[in-house]
A = this chain, B = another copy of it.
Amino acid sequence: MALVNDNYVDLKESYLFSDIAHKVAAFTAAHPERKVIRLGIGDVTLPLAPCVVEALKKAAGEMGAKETFRGYGPEQGYDFLHEAIVKYYASFGVELDSKEVFVSDGAKSDCGNITDIFNNADTILVPDPVYPVYLDTNIMCGRKIIYMEGKPENDFLPLPTADLKADVAYLCSPNNPTGAAYTKEQLALWVEWALANDAVILYDAAYEAFISDENIPRSIFAVEGAKKCAIELCSLSKTAGFTGTRCGYTVVPLALERKTSKGEVLSLNKMWLRRQTTKFNGVPYIIQRGAEAVFSPEGIEQCRANIAYYQENARIIMDALTEKGIKFYGGKHSPYIWLQCPGNMGSWEFFDLLLNKLGIVGTPGAGFGKCGEGYFRLTSFGSRENTAEAAERILRDL
């Protein structure tokens, strides 16, 4: 008699985005004349950079000719892409060995699959508010989960305390959903804690390309010692608008080792290589060529222009909030603006107000965890026109 995984019973269904969709649909049906501006979901809207599109087309052409056709590639990615990523890291001062870089179909996959190489006896530390994937993927393994609270008192950037005990800690910086980003000094405290506790930090750097301050590290490996205690997950989704094109990468340092429960010392790099060569067959050749183009000089320039566009959107929203006296976090090194609902409103109360009065859709902070209650997420991924109009509505009608 086949039994299924008991832990799936413990997963909570998330109705966040479907609840939002239902409310928006009801509003639109009742007010067909009103233009709704969506600043809710974390998806990009600008098209792929021209040099990326060219690379994709060229690679598609190669796949159509016998001489240039490619079959199975290396599961961990082609050398040309490893080299491009190593060079990219070097551009902000982080040295990697290309064996430390694993190309994947995105940070969400790696974030879920990396749980495979850890032990179910591990206690998992996740921030609250939190990207739900950290939580759900560990619930699926039946692991013990503890929380660290993000709140105004710590600028939504929780730091380790002397008595904090956990085995695996998720950090996301710049953070989804709060937009808050750790400084190098703060990250050094986390690395120090992890080394002292033989913990492993799973560092989600998906939003690193939005960082515009040299004191905010683009990679946890900018901190000394991190290669002995951290794995970094990153993606081209936000860096280059790859949300529908799917390419990411995970850095597992060669120096990272931990023990099994029986005391055998294993290399996490080798474990991840074994996991990926066994359960994955690599990213499409065509997509890897597109990703390579992201890291070319033109690619970096074209993608930077797109990010500048979103950053200007963020500035427009932040200016409106500042003028209205609404407190917020993020926005500077992140496409997310995390605002405190005015007048002590709850997250959903503010959602209703914003939708019904202003015709703007955002995301209630309560959807990201207990500590998100009373907060609200807006994104800078809309068009300039819509973002400017949303700011006007905030200034005029809120």
Contacts and interface: CB of A to CB of B under 8 A. Distances in A.
Interface in A52-69: 52-53, 56-57, 60-61, 63-66, 68-69
Interface stretch (A215-223, A260-268, A330-338, A352-360): A260-268
Interface stretch (A21-29, A81-89, A175-183, A243-251): A243-251
A98 interface: no
Interface string A157-175: 0000000000110000000
Interface in A235-271: 241, 243-246, 258-262, 264, 266, 268, 271
A133 B274 CA distance: 11
Contacts of A258: 1-4
How many copies make up the complex?
A: 2
Contact of A60 (B44, B53, B118): B53
B284 A5 contact: no
Interface residues on A, range: 35 or more
User: Which of A11, A41, A112, A244 lies at the interface centre, i.e. has the most chain B CB atoms within 10 A of its CB?
Assistant: A244
Contacts of A105: 105, 280-281, 283-284
Contacts of A396: none
Interface string A182-204: 00000000000000011110000
A1 B63 contact: no
B280 A109 contact: yes
Interface stretch (A70-78, A313-321, A343-351, A363-371): A70-78
A113 B279 contact: yes
A30 interface: no
Interface in A1-59: 1-6, 8-9, 11, 41, 43-48, 50, 52-53, 56-57
A136 interface: yes
A244 B106 CA distance: 17
Contacts of A140: 116, 275, 278
Nearest to A257: B4
A286 B268 CA distance: 33
Contact of A71 (B52, B53, B243): B243
A63 B43 contact: no
Contacts of A308: none
Given A56-B286, A71-B45, A278-B137, A119 B3 contact: yes
B2 A279 contact: no
B56 A279 contact: no
A398 interface: no
Contact of A61 (B57, B108, B116, B284): B57
A121 interface: yes
A284 B244 CA distance: 6
A373 interface: no
5 contacts: A41-B72, A45-B66, A113-B279, A136-B278, A244-B285
